[in-house]
Structure 1
Amino acid sequence: MTTHAPETKIVESYRVACDGGEGALGHPRVYLQIPEGDGWVECPYCDCKYVHKAHQDTTAN
């Protein structure tokens, strides 16, 4: 069984919504706030990492 690495998405807003992106196979929609100092946040359900575009060069994947 292969484990896939969590997805990383570059976003333009410091507030994002995540629902797993798989329709009925996803997860409940959660709203996440990206801390301006860190520049990224991870979804607690699917571990998708949201990186604000202003921090994409300083945030390691």
Structure 2
Amino acid sequence: MSIEAPETKVVDSYRVACDGGDGALGHPRVWLSLSHETGEVECPYCDCKFVHKDHAAAA
């Protein structure tokens, strides 16, 4: 059984920044690199999943 990420964002870059959103209620900004093989990555703080637009149909 797999657990879905709390939020999934489709992006057009293989390098993204995540700060958790919500201003002061977020988390420290981290830069994440999407895998070129799967086209996705999850934030280690908030578990937000980023999917590259070229891989969005598979995700």
Whether 1:17 aligns to 2:17 is yes
How many angstroms does 1:23 deviate by? 0.4
Runs of 5+ consecutive residues of structure 2 not aligned to the other structure:
none
Q: Count residues with an aligned counterpart.
A: 55
Cα RMSD, aligned residues only: 0.8
Distance 1:49 1:8 in 2: 5
Write the deviation string for residues 11-47 of structure 1: whole angstroms up to 9, x where unpaired. 0000000000010000000000001101100000000
Q: What's the counterpart of residue 40 of structure 1?
A: 40
Where does structure 1 differ by over 2 angstroms across 4 or more consecutive aligned residues? none
Percent of aligned pairs with the same amino acid: 69
The secondary structure found in structure 1 opposite 2:50 is strand
Distance 2:29 2:44 in 1: 11
Report the residue type matching 2:51 in the other structure. Answer: V
